[in-house]
Chain A
Amino acid sequence: MRVLVIGAGPAGARCAVRLAERMPGAEVTLAGAEAALPYDRVALSKLLAGDATIEDLITHPLPMLQSLGIRYRPATPIAALDRAAGEAVTARGERLPYDRLVLATGSTAIRLPFPGADLPGVVLYRDMDDVRAMLRAARSGGRAVVIGGGLLGLEAAVGLAHRGMTVTVVHAVGWPMERQLDPAAGALLTRRLGTRGIRFAMPASTTAIEGEDRARAVLLADGTRIPAELVVMAVGIRPNIALARESGLPTGRAITVDDAMRTADPAVFAIGECAEHAGRCIGLVAPALEQAEVAARAIAGEAAAWAPRADAAALKVSGTAVWSAGEIAPEDAESITLRDEAEERYRRLLLRDGRLIGAVLYGDTADAGFYLDLITTRRSVVGFRSALALGPAFVREAA
């Protein structure tokens, strides 16, 4: 059996490895658009901050892929699919035949369409090339504006500040990382990053990037002008689904898949950020890896089904651990908050009908597993509600 995996990001690489392990006779090809060996995209921030080298980021060295019999095709962007023929067509026109196809094309960072967005000095923050561009710009110090105060934007801001730049984060919401943090935790994080010299403009929206030959300043809707030699755009991602859509596969926001990660075409699977399961897309690496496992098992002929778990995001921002899981902004939930102003410890737990449905931990995430378990199992917390936020050491459940 010939299996082609398009996309050598974490999900694609994991799927290729599992396929090779499960089906010793199969011919597994892994085609990546980037020139590099498969690397840990999540760790790009370490590269930016100088905490890791490029070599440290490589997850699948060539000998390892070879020993598994995987054919690795770097710098091989795929231009089209010919599903009728069971072939993928590379940008150079090469046709790669398959019996089973796994789409792991990931997503692209969004470049907002305001004036000046294409000027030199405006970079995205998605891949190794973006990081190299940022490191070049930071070499001479100066001022940077990061548009977008999500996780990636903050990582970029911290890295650039660490590299000596004066950084301002422009964010559309009143506090950073609003998808993972509530306003209070966001405020703690803002204060903490402030001590590192990072300034915030929020809520604020960018209307243009000024400059003629290259970016010189960021202009905000309220008229503020922030001079900058480097502008990093970290405002979100868009699933890469053109390949699938143009081949006639059903798509929504991303490629529609069933529980086995199979698309409408039984020979074609989609995993990771480019897949849409039950109307939802994922954006984190852990579920993407699970989907890779499921797809590999399904292709190997085993029964396999992916069930979305509570989303849990464990992050580290500028040395501060942040973790969130489940629903973090439901309107109909009750919330319990724990705050330690001096130790920068914060917890927010969300409850509905006596059950934990979401949690945000800031500063101390040691009890994340406890809360994830409660969210996942939907166990009643009524009996120990008063101690819930204090962690498992204080919860004495009635036997």
Chain B
Amino acid sequence: MVLSKVVPRSLWNFRNHQARIHSSASSKNDTDMEGSLSPDLHHDCETDMKFEQRGVCQKFSVNGKRRKETILIPGNLSITENKYGEYIEWKPDESKVKNGNAEASSSGSKLGASGGIQFHASKGNERVEIKPDASSKEFLRPIKIELPEIRSFIVPPKANPREIIFILSDGTTLNPFIFERGSPENLVIALERSLRITKSRSNSNGLYMVGVRKESAPTMPPSGVLPHGVAEILGVLPPEHQHNVGQLWGFMKEMKNDPYATACTTLAKFGHMALNGELPINVFPGGSSTQVTDSVLRNGRLEESLNSDANELEADYTTNEEGYEVIFKPEKIGVELPPLTYFRTFRGQPLSQEQWLNYLDHEGRISNMNEIRQIVFYGGVEPTIRRHVWPILLGVHDSKSTYEERQCQLSEKTCYYNRMKMQWATISEDQEERFSPFRDFKSLIEKDVSRTDRTLDYFKGENSRGTDILRNILMTYMMYNFNLGYVQGMSDILAPILMETQDEILAFWVFVKFMDLIETNFEMSQEGMQRQLKDSYTLLQLVDPKFSAYLEACDASNMYFAFRWLLIWFKREFSFQDTLILWEALWTGLPGPNFHLFVGLSILEQHSTTIMENKFGLSEILRHVNDCNENRLRVNPHPS
């Protein structure tokens, strides 16, 4: 720990203390930008260094060619104070950044520079070099946060090397800081001098809540104020229920490794209501529960469990001898669910080429499509055979068709595709002038194609081939389904399919079938989206009454923060490869047609504790959810 007085160099000349990440920007009209609005609050004022720890890396996750890659940028973390307030700062280690002879740090990260910045990312023992480009500068952006902006932080107990993740009052989650030297505990001790730090009510999750010590307390921004009514809800919670949070969190941690398991166990909570696509959603809240109960009772197995030892278990949420968690009886809802036990699920092996061929008879008919669906649901499909399996899974071809029939269909579909492609390709600019719906769709497609996944090699660079094909398919789909035309989000849906198949015609027909499943998401009325958001909330009321009540109290029961998840099936949340694994599972239609809602719920459940303990309001929840991107969500295909 170093205590010294330093005057900040111009490089760290921050011009405002915003809640978001601060930058020492290099914009050319920096001086103009100052204006009278945001005077440099930190320029020329003396800074006390209250704590300093060298060897703290900022961790970035980026999409590599096939998988996630981690980039660690070495730097120093410090707590500083000037007359305007106290700050936590992280700066990249200049000597390592500018010095070409950068030494590899213990975890395998390395920075060097010769005619640009080169990053070496590490994934396990593997090293990947990332080409320097404009975005590399992103990694070198220093961070400076006013201490009162910190709402909470997480020190994952088992992380090695140790790390700390800060959550800010506007809901932003910063990238993890990895301690290659020192430990987060020393930082926490230093923070405790200025902040009131309490451990989360749940025990083992490593979440700490931050309050401001009175003597140095600027008031929180109005947005951070707990909405009226939330406190009551949290307040009336009887103490015996409070450990539910801990139970939940422990379970969530397991789920982090496997969203499927999560989703499955979530599903288990309400049995088979979803299986027939008959989610009893129209009767809540306050409506008659008869209808629901009837539909629940019609199902034999659920009836059985309804009649089982419900009384023994209804009191609370407990852990039984096998270590499985038992759900307590939900309240406030017109239906009472029977107590169900969680079951553990594991990802299976992906459908292999050998297995696939075994399912085909000598003419190419598939002998047991249901078994294939099961395998795909639990384990996915080996990438090499996706181009054969997907069209069957989605119904581009019937599973009972022969090789010959499929070949025949394919040439018909190729002709059809080319005909539709000619239709738009031959519309002249002159015609466009008098064809405004076409022109508007075309212009939207142009705009979106040029900003869809351009960081991936397949879509990289000016006039990349991938981008051209993306445009062709979207234009052709517009002609195929002109009533819908082009709607934003479609390019996100198509890009992974195209990149994986790299076949224009195949990708088009797979896309068409996928769109059939989610067409209502894109309709003008947006009724489909409204319904899914509403259904999600209803499900949440069943699964987690406390959290759903919390959301209602902060006006977030419209679930709008989940909009992006549901519109494009989590494509922006997961990496490319993980998205495909997830989509394959969802395409099987197992265990019911609305399974993607359960996936959404399980992700949300992972964050319920964080949201409630941070007392996030509507906008902070959105911020937090928008930050739940691929840096934090993984599909783990084979945990074993």
Report if A and B associate in a common complex. no
Residue ranges of B at the interface with A (Cβ–Cβ < 8 Å): none
Residue ranges of A at the interface with B (Cβ–Cβ < 8 Å): none
